[in-house]
Amino acid sequence: MATLFIDNAPYQVKEGKNLLEACLSLGFDLPYFCWHPAMGSVGACRQCAVKSFRDEEDTRGKLVMSCMEPVRDQARISIQDAEAVGFRAGIIEWLMTNHPHDCAVCDEGGSCHLQDMTVMTGHNYRRFRFNKRTYRNQDLGPFLNHEMNRCIHCYRCIRFYKDYAGGKDLDAMGAHNHVYFGRSEDGVLENEFSGNLAEVCPTGVFTDKSLKQHYTRKWDMTHAPSLCQGCAMGCNIIASERYGELRQISSRFNGEVNGYFICDRGRFGYEFVNSEDRIREIGVKGKPEIKDRDSLLRTAAARIREGSVLGIGSPRASLESNFALRKLVGEDNFYHGVADTEFDLVNLTLRILKEGTVRTPTLPEIESADAILILGEDLINTAPRMVLALRQAVRRGPGEALSARMNVPLWQDAAIRQAIQQDKAPLFSITPYPVRQDELATKSLYESPDDISRIGFAIAHAIDPDVTEIKRLSDEERMWTAHMAAVLLRAERPLIISGYGAGSEAVIKSAADVAWALKKSGKDVRLSLTVPECNSMGLAMMGGHRLESALDAVAHGHADTVIILENDLYRRAEKTLVDEFLQKSRHVILLDQVYHQTAEEADVIIPAGTFAEADGTLISGEGRAQRFYQVFVPDGPVQESWRWLQQLAEACGNRTLSHLRILDDFVLEIAKTCPQFEGIEHIAPPSDFRIGAQKIARQPHRYSGRTAKEAHIQVSERKPPSDEDSPLSFTMEGYHGIPPSAVVPFFWAPGWNSIQSINKYQIEVGGPLHDGDPGRRLIEPGDAHTPVFFAEQAAPFPIRPDCLYLIPQYAIFGTEEFSVHSPGIASRSPAAAITVARADADSWGLRDGDLLEFQFNGQEYKLAIQTNQQYPRGMGTLPIGLKGVPFMDLPGWIRLKPVERS
Amino acid sequence: MEVYRKQGGYAAVEKALKTMTPDEVLEEVKKSGLRGRGGAGFPTGLKWSFLAKPEGVPRYLVCNADESEPGTFKDRDLMVRNPHSLIEGMIVSSFALGANTSYIYVRGELFYVIRILEKAISEAREKGFLGKNILGSGYDLELYVQPGGGAYICGEETALIESLEGKRGNPRIKPPFPAVSGVWGCPTVVNNVETIAATSWIVQHGGDEYAKIGIGRSTGTKLISACGNINKPGIYEIELGLPVEEFIYSDEYCGGIAGGKRLKAVVAGGSSVPVLPANLILKTMAGESRLMSYESLAEGGFVSGTMLGSGGFIVMDEDACIVRNTWNFTRFYHHESCGQCSPCREGTGWMEKVLHRIEYGHGKMSDIDLLVDVAAKIEGNTICPLGDAAAWPVGSAIRHFRDEFEWHVREPRLSQERNYGLAGYADPLPVQAAEA
Amino acid sequence: MDIDTREIRFSAERLAEVYEIIGRYPEGRQKSALLPVLHIAQAEFDNWLSPEVMDYVADLLGIQPIEVYEVASFYTMFNLKPVGKYVLEVCRTGPCCLVGAEKLQSHLETKLGIKPGETTPDGMFTLKTVECLAACGFGPVMQVGATYYERLTPEKADELLEQFRKENKRATYC
């Protein structure tokens, strides 16, 4: 610790940080623009100037940029010094010379960092008597608006987009005071993290286009702490609503999970909540008169009691909802609504994490890995946020080395970046086809899943001879495995990544073997295994049977009534099987949020709340239990699935859930009865938590129009809904200070209206949040013991004539079930086609766009192909889950129909 | 080449590579007291001694031939007349620094100079002064010419490095200095053409000999490029310490003011240094004769002094309009601002607009103080020296010629018809009056 | 020839020049060749850099097209719009103005009937004002292609225009 004198008062601060961070962490209001806690300092805006004094005697001092100066013991600075105050106001005055006075019509207004900083510096009188600079804006695609006239040239956009996120289509053009931040021409911003620009930009140049369709000021929205349901990363988000419509998703800082940033699927994939495809009403086939909850419950209960029932749980439903279903139908009748292959992969993953010796990494741990091996995983499409973390990781090693050599702190972003040039820490990526992370890799290999696992096992063997030696490796494979093993052994914090993406248990096992072998040799290694959906891990931990068995149970008459929880079975099993299953079931009761093919076949449809209308707990791929909260109470019968199921159980006369009424009851019951979930009761404060006898307000204290906004329906104000499930209130009444970290509905502090107010919620700038980052890890490896390696001899991938090994492929935009309901996301979906090696297509006489006819599991299919020169021979990929692509439980061999050769 | 050889050219290369160690060369340059001729006047030997030498990391020498400071045109002449003196300097300097690849970054407009240099380089290579194992010394050096793209800012050494890397010429934050992290993140020294050319003389004749030339800490000779309203504009190699008055009026140098007019003002070291009225350029406040040296020109600080800078000597006669000239320079700096940091990017643009307004008779009195305020806030608060370079001309013009600015405001119509003229600038000021 | 219909590709000779330039930098630093190669490209393809030309350069150097755009738009020597056969670059900075650059510029404007930044309808001349060309002692200065024309007077400028009209070739930097 160092003693820093600020305006002659001593403070204890951490050495090594910069003065700006130190001042902000101490709670001082010091304006800034170009500095960003995750991106470091470049000293471009010159806004954060303070006076620095040599010693006590020095009365003149000199202006320094606080973001550029490291904290030194006994340093003396002044924030209040008249010259510093005047200079900071001067900078704002300069920035405002060309900034339009359009706050009233600007989307950023009310959550604008520039507004806040302008007020903070006290600049309010205009001396600039000239016309303002103007620019032409660009159409940047479905996610972001562009309004360059508002630009203050802080360079944050390209520093995030280009430097931090690796984007290739946004840059600074031109020079002097006419620099233009944009693309080379109109067009979609391609980077998967582009949406963060709306938060990174300190003013209204880049704003959320989806918000614009139903624009509301930040202060006029109801907010809730929520979780992204787009994949299993568990990114923390803020969901915001007005007039019963979900209007915006923004990132919610969690230092252990997503930091400051989320991906575009997470930010823009929310529109299904407002979609016309939503299930909002109760539907009972043949009984249109049943519209209200009570009659529905009576009808459904009668049907459930009629026969023998089975329940199909869901990896996208909360722990509470799955638990409620399992209780309702009984443990023996609880099945997982996931494809059988996925069931096996996720259960294997869970077993490896639980019984193995290596921990899963948190986000900061991923960012600090110094050697990385990725086996089989196309991460941008299966765990997008991880790619952003890896991008920081590969810079970190070289950055730290240079930081030491040059004696320049790591947060000196520009200096470190210029010195690093293109150097990277080792990252090896072995995948079935070219992937985004290749641009981070020091070496990429494209192999079939079989061969990936063989290479993985061979690396493990090279690290630890106890792992079975893999025979028949090619010379090149042998060379690379030896090299990769040596690099991993040289590292201090190696990271192994694999997961469900390649659809191969062997690949996951080989990743585990590498990690375990490294652990055995004393390395501080981490193992990250992706799983597909937001609660895949929670469902696997809960336990249950395979979907195949559910189909069997109905086929063999062991069950005839089916309750399907938040699931479209046509995405889980092949069509003929699901058709048969649903036809044979006497009653099909579906609880879900959006209409889909299964809903069309269901006899009873029960409208379930989306994440915006429900509370619940999810377990992320990391094994972290986190809570999400309802943002608003929807009109009509929509409510949480767990609540429906509890009421359904009651109506059936099933008393197992009688004592569970509110969310807390479920949470406590799960923690009590399922030891694997012990601890989830502590991840967030209980519903009776109060601060000064107050609940935490979901609405900002400036929320307007409550008494008037429904005046066209009724002039007297409706009683606001109460929330018995959480410590949050649905109104502006309540506590507006800094609540426990798990229940922060939005970030705001006096004078800090924008998302930059996160600073005030952190113990020190950059995190963690006050009282710790939310969530609790439930899976920790067992006590150190000798691992039992998986590796066994396997033959190299065989290329079979007239057959193709088809593996699933995923797309950040397109293969996720709900997010494609956002038109912007849908517009960025890839083509519904099989991709194969060009040489294979040539050998069949096929070209891009030609149709490939094939058989799989006895069914005939016909799909377009596209070719890629870098694909391994004998293998193809298909984006499963994409519109227009029939479900197939891949991977598997498909038999090609003979192509007519002319 | 033959001519240069006959005149003793490349003797320094032979001497350095065959008889000296790199450290001995460095020692001679230190002893010479040579100071950077690009404008800042930083001691070259000291700069070289800062060069980091991490193991396994290449080091680079880059010659800054991006001459574009208004009023400065000496390097072009040197390169055209005597390209081999630069190449010879590059070889001995690279040898001293342990650089095996060096670049001469020439402003892109001068493609014909680039061709001359490239021809000279291939001649030097043919004679074995470049390439592998030069003169059997075991020392290797490759030398290349890199064209710029037309940006004044690339004369700033870190912007030049960025440009050499094929990027926009945005100056870098220092530290780290190029000596630690320069081209491609490697330790790098960037020196002006004239500085590098001087090193071969120093090696050949010894640092002590060089130090004997000149005056005090301003050792050696300096190329002065003189322009503006004088009889003999051109490039003059002077021994530092020459009286300014002699330089302006002697037939050996500028040959007096053109057309027999009277001297009004001088910008002594390239457009960025403070402009001084005739009385203050010829004599210091203390009444002493001002000399062409780093120290004498700076005498009086920014209150009454200026800087030697890059040696761009711009002379203005009684018909010159200080407001117009200040506006012109400010427009230049605005245009050449890279746009990276706020004070320079926004401040230069604003100053240009205000100056334009005053020059064209639409100014207000408060505009003058506004200019002072904006210039003062830019000064010392930008990433690179371009901010200072833009602020000093404005600050000094108003400091010394405020009445001319006020006249433009007071007489909006008259100022469009005629110039303010000489007023009292040429008359010697009593010391007290100037201080007040 | 119309740039839109012409295939954008360097001749073998030019290509060899480009590869020689790339060879001047350490491995992996080929981006450093960007400025010299852009100069060559501009000279080769009608004295301006169309997006297609810049994409071609990006491809040659193995960098992203946007890395070329951001650089080309920063430096003043690169023309991002079509220009006349002779680009008359008149220095407008202080020292040249002290000795008559403004007069020279307005003379050229009147003579050619165009303002700075414009091209004569016959596609012969583009007038461009530029900042200091570092020939301050020999002002007023005008650069045309690789050549500096110094100590210009309106009369000398007229002669030059005539000479250019007669030559009728494209003047480029390199």
Secondary structure of A171-232 as H, E, C letters: EEECCHHHCEEECCCCCCCCCCCHHHHHHHCCCCCEEEHHHHCCCCCHHHCEEEEEECCCCC
Specify if A704 maps to a domain. yes
Q: How far apart are the C-alpha atoms of A451 and A448, rounded to whole Å?
A: 5
- Predicted confidence band of residue B11 (pLDDT cuts 50, 70, 90): very high
Check if CATH label 3.10.20.600 holds for domain B215-319: yes
Give the fold, CATH level 3, of C12-72: Arc Repressor Mutant, subunit A (1.10.10)
State which residue of chain B sits closest to C172, comparing Cα positions. Answer: B111
Q: Is C59 on the interface with A (CB under 8 A)?
A: no
- pLDDT tens digit sequence for A22-46: 999 999 999 999 999 999 999 999 9
- Cβ-based contacts of A184 with chain C (< 8 Å): 51, 65-66, 69
Residue C1 pLDDT > 80: no
B328:C78 CB<8 A: no
Q: Quick one: A360 and A463 in the same domain?
A: yes
Instruction: Please give the single-letter amino acid code of residue A6.
Output: I
Q: How confident is the prediction for chain B on average, in pLDDT? A: 93
Q: Is A173 on the interface with B (CB under 8 A)?
A: no
Q: How far apart are the C-alpha atoms of B28 and A279, rounded to whole Å?
A: 86
Out of A97, A118, A150, a domain closes at A97
Out of A485, A504, A531, a domain closes at A531
Of A683, A650, A644, A649, nearest to A667 (Cα)?
A: A683
Specify if A12 maps to a domain. yes
- Cβ-based contacts of A421 with chain C (< 8 Å): 29
Closest partner residue to B235 (CB to CB) among C33, C92, C137 is C137
Residue B87's H or E segment, with its range, is helix B83-97
C138 CA to chain B: closest CA distance, Å? 7
- Cβ-based contacts of B345 with chain A (< 8 Å): 153, 176-177, 179
Q: How large is the average pLDDT for residues C44-64?
A: 96
DSSP class of A427: E
C95:B227 CB<8 A: yes
Out of A97, A129, A144, a domain closes at A97
DSSP string, B359-380: HTT---HHHHHHHHHHHHHHTT
Residue with tokens 């006290």: A122
Specify if A39 maps to a domain. yes
Q: Is C66 on the interface with A (CB under 8 A)?
A: yes
Domain count for chain A, please give it.
Answer: 4
End-to-end CA distance of chain C: 19
- Predicted confidence band of residue A711 (pLDDT cuts 50, 70, 90): confident
- pLDDT tens digit sequence for B109-156: 999 999 999 999 999 999 999 999 999 999 999 999 999 999 999 999
Q: Quick one: A394 and A472 in the same domain?
A: yes
In terms of residue numbers, what domain contains A854? 803-896
Q: Is C67 on the interface with A (CB under 8 A)?
A: yes
Q: Quick one: A725 and A761 in the same domain?
A: yes
Q: Quick one: A728 and A811 in the same domain?
A: no
- pLDDT tens digit sequence for B43-88: 999 999 999 999 999 999 999 999 999 999 999 999 999 999 999 9
Instruction: Please give the single-letter amino acid code of residue A832.
Output: A
Residue B431 pLDDT > 70: no
| Domain locations along chain C | 12-72, 86-167
β-partners of residue A606 are A591
CA A120-A123-A129 angle, to 5 degrees, is: 155
C34 CA to chain B: closest CA distance, Å? 5
- pLDDT tens digit sequence for A505-564: 999 999 999 999 999 999 999 999 999 999 999 999 999 999 999 999 999 999 999 999
pLDDT of residue B432: 40
Q: How confident is the prediction for chain A on average, in pLDDT? A: 95
CB distance A711 to A190 below 8 Å: no
| Domain locations along chain B | 2-212, 215-319, 322-420
- Cβ-based contacts of A422 with chain C (< 8 Å): 28
Specify if A185 maps to a domain. no
C74:A174 CB<8 A: yes
Closest partner residue to A43 (CB to CB) among B338, B348, B383 is B383
Q: How large is the average pLDDT for residues A762-787?
A: 89
Residue B436 pLDDT > 80: no
CB distance B180 to B187 below 8 Å: yes
Residue with tokens 């804006």: A137
- Cβ-based contacts of C147 with chain B (< 8 Å): 112
Q: Quick one: A443 and A558 in the same domain?
A: no
Specify if A136 maps to a domain. no
Residue with tokens 């950059």: A766
A421 CA to chain C: closest CA distance, Å? 9
Q: Quick one: A732 and A807 in the same domain?
A: no
- Cβ-based contacts of C28 with chain A (< 8 Å): 422
CA A416-A420-A422 angle, to 5 degrees, is: 140
CA C103-C105-C107 angle, to 5 degrees, is: 70
State which residue of chain B sits closest to C74, comparing Cα positions. Answer: B168
C24:B144 CB<8 A: yes
- pLDDT tens digit sequence for A751-763: 999 999 999 999 9
Q: Quick one: A570 and A686 in the same domain?
A: yes
Residue A401's H or E segment, with its range, is helix A384-406
* β pairing state of A309-313 and A561-565: parallel
- Predicted confidence band of residue A900 (pLDDT cuts 50, 70, 90): low
Closest partner residue to B349 (CB to CB) among A44, A177, A421 is A177
Closest partner residue to A177 (CB to CB) among B176, B181, B337 is B337
B185:A412 CB<8 A: no
Q: Quick one: A738 and A860 in the same domain?
A: no
- pLDDT tens digit sequence for B153-196: 999 999 999 999 999 999 999 889 999 999 999 999 999 999 99
A94:B346 CB<8 A: yes
pLDDT of residue C6: 64
Integer Rg of chain C from CA:
17
- pLDDT tens digit sequence for A160-210: 999 999 999 999 999 999 999 999 999 999 999 999 999 999 999 999 999
Helices (H), C23-122: 34-44, 51-61, 65-72, 94-98, 101-112
End-to-end CA distance of chain B: 58
**CATH homologous superfamily of C86-167:** Glutaredoxin (3.40.30.10)
Specify if A204 maps to a domain. no
Residue A879 pLDDT > 70: yes
- Domain B2-212 class? alpha beta
pLDDT of residue A294: 95
- What is the complex's ipTM, to 2 decimals? 0.95
* pTM, full prediction: 0.96
CATH number, position A561:
3.40.50.740
Q: How far apart are the C-alpha atoms of A763 and A873, rounded to whole Å?
A: 53
Could you tell me which residue, A783 or B242, shows the higher pLDDT?
B242
Q: Quick one: A606 and A754 in the same domain?
A: yes
Q: How far apart are the C-alpha atoms of B149 and A850, rounded to whole Å?
A: 48
Q: How far apart are the C-alpha atoms of C61 and A350, rounded to whole Å?
A: 46
Q: How far apart are the C-alpha atoms of B352 and C107, rounded to whole Å?
A: 25
- Domain B322-420 class? mainly alpha
Q: Quick one: A630 and A548 in the same domain?
A: yes
How many CA atoms lie within 13 Å of C153's alpha carbon, on the beta-carbon side? 2
- Predicted confidence band of residue B8 (pLDDT cuts 50, 70, 90): confident
Per-residue tokens: B324: 């117009």
C92 CA to chain A: closest CA distance, Å? 18
- pLDDT tens digit sequence for A584-618: 999 999 999 999 999 999 999 999 999 999 999 99
Supply φ then ψ for residue A415, to 5 degrees.
Answer: -60, -45
C10 CA to chain B: closest CA distance, Å? 20
From chain B residues 3-32, the ones with a CB under 8 A of any chain C CB are none
- The full length of chain B comes to 436
Per-residue tokens: A857: 């599991």
Q: Quick one: A558 and A634 in the same domain?
A: yes
Could you tell me which residue, A221 or A783, shows the higher pLDDT?
A221
Q: How large is the average pLDDT for residues A312-333?
A: 97
Chains touching chain A through at least 3 C-beta pairs below 8 angstroms are B, C
